[in-house]
Structure formats: C-alpha cells, structure tokens
Chain A
Amino acid sequence: GAGVSQTPSNKVTEKGKYVELRCDPISGHTALYWYRQSLGQGPEFLIYFQGTGAADDSGLPNDRFFAVRPEGSVSTLKIQRTERGDSAVYLCASSYSGTDYEQYFGPGTRLTVT
C-alpha cells in the first residue's frame, strides 16, 4: 500500500515568511509524528498526535511552530516568521496505536530559509 507522503519535497522561503508542510500518513495509522533532521544529525522529535489531538508537543522549539491534524489523518506543520536556523529536513512518521508498532517515515520536506 501507499506509504507516508509529504509535500512539498523542497521548500525555499525567505526569512520572516510563513510556511506550511503537509504530511499524509499511512491509511489506518492513528499516531502521527513530526521530526526535524539537521545536516549530519539524527532526527529530533517535534510533536506527536494521537488521532486529532496533540499528545506530546514538548519538542516544538518555540511558539513559531504549530501543527494541526483536524480530521485525524493529514497533518500540517506550520512555521511562522521563519529563521535561517529553521532550515532542515522535516520528517513525518505514522504508526498504529500502542507500543508494539514501528514508525514508518515519509521522504521528508527539505526547508531552506534564505
């Protein structure tokens, strides 16, 4: 079946602009995660949804970052007043609920803030 998809694959924006990154999880997966991967680093957790609600947003770096999942499927990560330090690959993952399930990752969105 279809895997996790993310759009756009690449996004270049100017400092100070607003961006939205989209994640479409695997059908039937109720858990959805956002991670950020900087060059040469491992992915770092941002936020996790269980259904429509954010179960854990402790990884969001500041209040410029926000994410929604209004219908419990597609999620959008929103970044306001982008800064050059926000440049990274933003990864989305999904899984079934419960601890016994691995997370499947999408191809990521490469965000470049100029």
Chain B
Amino acid sequence: AQKVTQAQTEISVVEKEDVTLDCVYETRDTTYYLFWYKQPPSGELVFLIRRNSFDEQNEISGRYSWNFQKSTSSFNFTITASQVVDSAVYFCALSEAYSGNTPLVFGKGTRLSVIA
C-alpha cells in the first residue's frame, strides 16, 4: 500500500525566512512519481512539481527547490526567502508509474503561514 506522511501540520515563518516542508512516503513499487501541490485560500490545487523515482537530482525553480532522497524515502520542499503569497496548504502526493494513469495518494498537508 502507498502512504504519504507530512508530519508538520502547521508552520509559521516571518517573511524572507527559508522554510522546508517535509514529506516521507511508503510504497512497494519500484517505479513511482512524487508530486507537490499548493492549495491557496481560494481552494484550487496548483501543480508545482512531478518527480520520477529514477531521477534523484534535486531541482530548483526560482525560490522553490526540492530534495529527493530515495534512501530515506523523502521528498522535501524548500521555499527560500518566503513571501506572504506563499501562505497556503502544501500537499505531497505519490502515484505508481507503470500502469498508465493512476490516482494520487496525498498526504494530509502542511499549512504554511508567512507573516509580514
């Protein structure tokens, strides 16, 4: 069975601080995808990144970066120099990757509040 754990329920930081959101996953699949989605107060889930299990390279996109470590089954997300607009609930998700489209298994989310 697949499972995603986001141990941090809520995080509060002051603007311009760096913040890391943790994600730990469990799967028996050897091939899988990991995702991060952002859910702002408006409620619509916004796709941020997809990572294939074969690709352990870290990725940076502007102020966002992701650290994928298969050895610890973690896929952590760091926001550098946080801004108030980063305030949202962030979800980590997992799907299998060998049988076509598959549903996402989500963690419970981490609510990030960035205070001005």
Contact = CB atoms under 8 A, between A and B. Distances in A.
Interface residues of A, number: 29
Nearest to B45: A105
A108 B45 CA distance: 9
Interface in A78-114: 89, 91, 93, 95, 97-99, 101-108
B68 interface: no
Contact of B104 (A45, A56, A89, A97): A45
Interface in B1-53: 4, 33, 35, 37, 42-47, 50
Nearest to B92: A42
Contacts, number: 68
B100 interface: yes
Interface residues on chain B, size class: 20 to 34
A102 B47 contact: yes
Given A50-B100, A97-B100, A99-B97, A107 B105 contact: no
25 contacts: A31-B101, A33-B103, A35-B103, A40-B108, A41-B108, A41-B109, A42-B91, A42-B106, A43-B45, A43-B91, A45-B104, A50-B101, A56-B103, A59-B103, A95-B101, A97-B100, A98-B101, A99-B98, A99-B99, A102-B47, A103-B47, A105-B37, A105-B46, A107-B42, A107-B43
Given A42-B107, A50-B101, A97-B101, 13 more contacts: A33-B103, A40-B108, A42-B106, A42-B109, A43-B45, A50-B100, A56-B102, A59-B103, A97-B100, A98-B101, A99-B98, A99-B100, A105-B45
